């Protein structure tokens, strides 16, 4: 039985050790992701506590196949909720404003039903696109636009230069734009 399976069993059994085990294994990931989005260590720490509470209340009934992905998604969503509640850019010193500026051409601007459908189609198309690009490009793209990692950090993780990572991101975005145009989504 893997460590994640043990943690999930603790949640199902309503054993509070699930929270301790989750924080031990995933606390650093959550704090890092939350800090990159929120830009404030105290807000990030509060968000991690909210993540643990959300996990406690959602597992069960949720039965995540990947605990890492589930925890990352919960963390991101709670961070975005916190940003929405704050409604101020002065507290957004993290990577979020820069990343959103870079992706602005791909983001819809209003929430009409047609736009919701378009967003779903866009998400599916981006997933297909990323499945087709080489692994390194995909990892760099996701590090920047999913995990909001600074470019310098991505370069270090990939034993590369900042310039090379910027070029990979630029070329991948250009390919994505062309792909989305061919799909009729831009």
- What's the sign of the alpha-carbon dihedral 161, 127, 104, 73? negative
Q: How far apart are CA 184 and CA 8, in angstroms?
A: 41
Q: How far apart are CA 64 and CA 144, in angstroms?
A: 24
What does the buried/exposed string (b/e) look like for 58-83 if buried means 16 or more CB atoms within 10 Å of the residue's CB?
A: ebeeeebeebeebbbebbbebbeebb
148 exposed, middle or buried (CB, 10 Å; 0-12, 13-18, 19+)?
buried
- pLDDT for position 92: 46
- Residue ranges and CATH numbers for the domains of the chain are 3-86 (1.10.1740.10), 96-182 (1.10.10.10)
- pLDDT for position 168: 92
Instruction: Please give the chain's pLDDT, 186 residues, in tens.
Output: 788 889 999 988 998 999 999 999 999 989 988 888 888 888 889 989 999 999 999 888 888 888 888 888 899 888 888 877 765 444 445 555 666 666 666 655 555 555 555 666 777 778 888 888 899 998 898 888 887 888 898 999 899 999 999 999 999 999 988 888 887 766
Which residue bears the tokens 């949720």?
62
- pLDDT for position 90: 47
Q: Are 179 and 173 in contact (CB under 8 A)?
A: no
- pLDDT for position 89: 47
């Amino acid at each position: 039985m893997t460590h994640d399976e043990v943690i999930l069993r603790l949640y199902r059994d309503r054993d509070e050790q699930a929270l301790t085990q989750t924080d031990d294994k995933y606390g650093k990931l959550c704090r890092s992701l939350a800090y990159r989005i929120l830009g404030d260590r105290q807000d990030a720490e509060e968000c991690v506590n909210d993540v643990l509470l959300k996990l406690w209340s959602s597992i069960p009934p949720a039965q995540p196949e990947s605990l890492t992905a589930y925890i990352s998604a919960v963390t991101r969503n709670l961070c975005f909720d916190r940003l929405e509640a704050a409604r101020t850019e002065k507290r957004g010193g993290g990577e979020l404003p820069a990343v959103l500026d870079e992706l602005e051409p791909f983001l819809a601007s209003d929430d009409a039903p047609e736009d919701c459908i378009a967003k779903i189609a866009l998400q599916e198309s981006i997933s297909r696109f990323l499945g087709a690009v080489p692994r390194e490009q995909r990892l760099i793209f996701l590090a920047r636009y999913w995990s909001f990692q600074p470019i310098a950090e991505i370069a270090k993780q990939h034993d590369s230069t900042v310039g090379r990572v910027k070029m990979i991101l630029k070329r991948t975005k250009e390919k994505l734009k062309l792909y989305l145009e061919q799909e009729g989504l831009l």
